[in-house]
């Protein structure tokens, strides 16, 4: 079952990339949307690639361990998760458009940042719960990554959650700049 979840995970990440390329080619995703997706993917790469090098292949005390090894090299998983991150940021953009009055991303608004932060933290909790419940990977409690609580005897840790507290403001600043052009 876990191998199937990894394949679904990889397929979804590739589907997001193909979807945005298709939408861009068909004129359904303008320059701003395309650039926001790419920016979100690049922002995601900062921790996805960083976490790869803190993982079990490079550390005797890794940040995370695989409960079930992925059916492909782990670097592939981390690269594909960059596209997941881009898509997750774009869901945040869609929520801003859906929940808040226009104009969107025209000037700094606390409400827009709040939606992006709330979505970022909420989806991170769900992702980690699915991972822990699905026996894919588990973050290890370390001095720099303390455990907040346990799920099925595995620690739910702080660092991945902090990523989604820091990343939305960075993305929001980029989104403001991109949408103004």
Q: Write the DSSP assignment of the chain as a string of letters.
A: -HHHHHHHHHHHHHHHHHHHHHHHHTTSS-HHHHHHHHHHHHHHHHHHHHHHHTSTTT-SS-SEEESS--SS-HHHHHHHHHHHHHHHHHHHHHHHHHHSPSPPSSS--HHHHHHHHHHHHHHHHHHHHHHHHHTSEEEPPBTTB-EEEEETTEEEEHHHHHHHHHHHHHHHHHHHHHHH-
Residue spans per domain, the chain: 2-180
pTM (2 d.p.): 0.93
Residue-wise pLDDT tens for the chain (181 aa)? 678 888 999 999 999 999 999 988 888 778 889 999 999 999 999 999 999 999 999 999 999 999 889 999 999 999 999 999 999 999 999 999 999 999 999 999 999 999 999 999 999 999 888 888 777 888 999 999 999 999 888 899 999 999 999 999 999 999 999 998 7
């Amino acid at each position: 079952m876990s191998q199937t979840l990894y394949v679904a995970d990889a397929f979804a990440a590739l589907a997001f990339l193909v979807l945005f390329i298709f939408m861009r080619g068909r004129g359904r995703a303008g320059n701003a949307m395309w650039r926001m997706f790419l920016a979100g993917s690049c922002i995601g790469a900062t921790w996805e690639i960083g976490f790869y090098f803190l993982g079990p292949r490079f550390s005797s005390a890794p940040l995370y361990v695989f409960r079930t090894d992925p059916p492909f090299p782990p670097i592939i998983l981390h690269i594909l998760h960059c596209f997941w991150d881009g898509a997750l940021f774009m869901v945040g953009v869609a929520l801003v458009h859906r929940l808040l009055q226009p104009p969107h991303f025209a000037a700094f608004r606390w409400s827009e940042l709040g939606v992006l932060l709330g979505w970022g933290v909420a989806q991170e909790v769900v992702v980690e719960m699915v991972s822990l419940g699905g026996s894919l990977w588990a973050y290890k409690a370390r001095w720099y990554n303390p455990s907040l609580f346990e799920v099925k005897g595995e620690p739910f840790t702080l660092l991945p959650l902090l990523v989604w507290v820091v990343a939305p403001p960075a993305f929001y600043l980029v989104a403001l700049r991109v949408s103004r052009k």
